[in-house]
Structure 1
Amino acid sequence: MKQLLAQLAELENLTPQVYRVVLQLPEAIEFSAGQYLQVVMGERDKRPFSIASCPSKTDTVELHIGATPDNPYAMEVIERLQQQRELVIEAPLGSAQYRPNSERAMILIAGGTGFSYTWSILQAHLRKQPERPVTLYWGGRKPADLYYDAKLQALSEQHEHFHYRPVVEEADAQWHGAIGLVHQAVMLEQTDLAEADVYVAGRFEMVRVIRDDFHARGLPLAQLYGDALAFI
């Protein structure tokens, strides 16, 4: 892990509540898909965010930050970027990274901006092992929350062994995916969790339910990856 002063390279809205941030690093770093960084807001105030970029791009890092005025934890980071155009970060961190040497099928599960964790892993996987089956389940409250929906649909058409399963709680008449909670969609489709590697990111409550329900259905905990698991 290094502490670095990163400069703002890009800042754009993916949705009204989600920002895509690209930071230019002062030096190249090595990180694994699925790791995260910490934004250093103060000596005892360090805020973690998953790295969304593929590890092949080591001189920049991309973040997807969900931030609203009633969420100062994330909004203060966006405001600092807007005002100062730089951040002190610590990177890389985390042990829930992509395991490329496994031969098991992969299940990626994301809630909201937890997608950034799975997006990094998916990009690395499609470059290294496109023949190994991988299914991404991405859950949001409504279709507009799934900001890379079209991109993921296109990827699933390009890669025979990549399957994309979008899930929303509130659908409209044009919705093309599942309706409900993302972990329930996984359990409806995946009948043999014991033969899968499962990577998960989202709210702690969601991760806790996935851990308990999936383990009860045969998933060994050693095959479940997510940094939130260390805190629940």
Structure 2
Amino acid sequence: MGEKDFRPFSIANPPDGSDRIELHIGAGPGNDYAGQVLEKMKRDSEIYVDGGHGEAFLREDNIKPTILLAGGTGFSYTYAILLQRLKIANNQPVFLYWGTRTLTDMYAYEALVELEKQHTNFRFLPVVDVPEHDWIGKSGWVHKAIMADFVSLEPYQVYVAGRFEMAGVAREDFQTKGLLKQNLYGDAYQFI
């Protein structure tokens, strides 16, 4: 945005040999931080990108059963990890729990339903905070859905993306379910 104004966003596509970088920017009303980025991208013919940084990448050297936890547009980097993970010839299960305020906010819902049909080792579990009256899926806090679904998290790798507050609570709660700290990944953990 400027010489000293760098704004971090997660890359939403896995490495594929192209020069394309996909970002999911939640620039709704009142979000000037993201809205200003979109305005600059529209206005300028070029933007400067510095990346990739952080610890939010798939650990391909030691694939274990995997849980991806995404809150809101934190989905972007879990989506990149999911797509990369599904390319690997490995039958270990992978679960994506995506929490949003409403089902309408889950902008890649149909694409994930299709991926689930194509991959027998993949499960998509949407979680909405404010369910509609006919919603029959999971509701509430996304990390609590994981806590309810698993007796132990000890054998899993868990990747967390979303608000720092959610990541902090998930880290503490997941350890009570046996998750080993070295199997928990997320860029938020560098800051909290």
Matched, 1:192 2:147: no
Letter in 2 for 1:204: F
Instruction: Please report the RMSD computed on the Cα atoms of aligned residues, expressed in angstroms.
Output: 1.3
The question of whether the paired residues in 2 share the 8 Å contact of 1:80 and 1:86 is answered with no
**2:60 corresponding residue in structure 1:** 100
Structure with the largest fraction of helix: 2
1:140 aligns with 2:92: no
* TM-score (norm. length: structure 2): 0.95
Structure 1 position 123 matched with structure 2 position 86 = no
Answering whether residue 9 of structure 2 is matched by residue 49 of structure 1, we say: yes
Distance 2:86 2:136 in 1: 24
User: Which residue is 2:109 aligned to?
Assistant: 149
Give the equivalent residue in structure 1 for 2:125: 165
| Offset from partner CA, 1:131-169 (integer Å, 9 cap, x none) | 221000000000001111111111111111000100001
Residue 220 (structure 1) aligned to one of 177, 180, 183: 180
Residue 66 (structure 1) aligned to one of 16, 23, 26: 26
Aligned pairs (5 A) from 1:77-92: 77-92=37-52
Deviation at 1:173, TM superposition (A): 3.7
Deviation at 1:53, TM superposition (A): 0.9
Query: 1:177: how far off?
Result: 2.2
Q: Match of 1:72, as an amino acid? A: D
TM-score normalised by the chain length of structure 1: 0.79
C-alpha separation between the residues in 1 aligned to 2:7 and 2:161? 16
User: Is residue 210 from structure 1 mapped to residue 151 from structure 2 by the alignment?
Assistant: no
- Counterparts of 2:187 and 2:96 in 1: how far apart (Å)? 18
Deviation at 1:130, TM superposition (A): 4.7
Post-superposition Cα deviations, 1:188-214, rounded to whole Å, max 9, x if no partner, equal 001110110000000000000011111
Q: How many equivalent pairs are there?
A: 192
Compared CA separation, residues 176 and 127, structure 1 to 2 (3 A): farther
CA contact (8 A) 1:194 1:220 kept: yes
- Higher normalized contact order (CA 8 Å, seq sep 6+, divided by chain length): 2
Query: Residue 29 of structure 1 aligns with which residue?
Result: none
SS of corresponding position for 1:79: helix
Contact 1:130 1:159 in 2 (8 A): no
Does the aligned pair in 2 maintain the 1:140–1:146 contact within 8 Å? yes
Tell me the SS of whatever aligns to 2:47. strand
Amino acid in structure 2 at the alignment position of 1:125:
R
- One-letter amino acid matched to 1:184: K
Which sections of structure 2, spanning at least 5 residues, go unmatched?
A: none
Q: Amino acid of the residue matched to residue 50 of structure 1?
A: S
Q: Name the residue aligned to 2:135.
A: 175
State percent identity of aligned pairs: 46
Conserved 8 A contact 2:95-2:125: yes
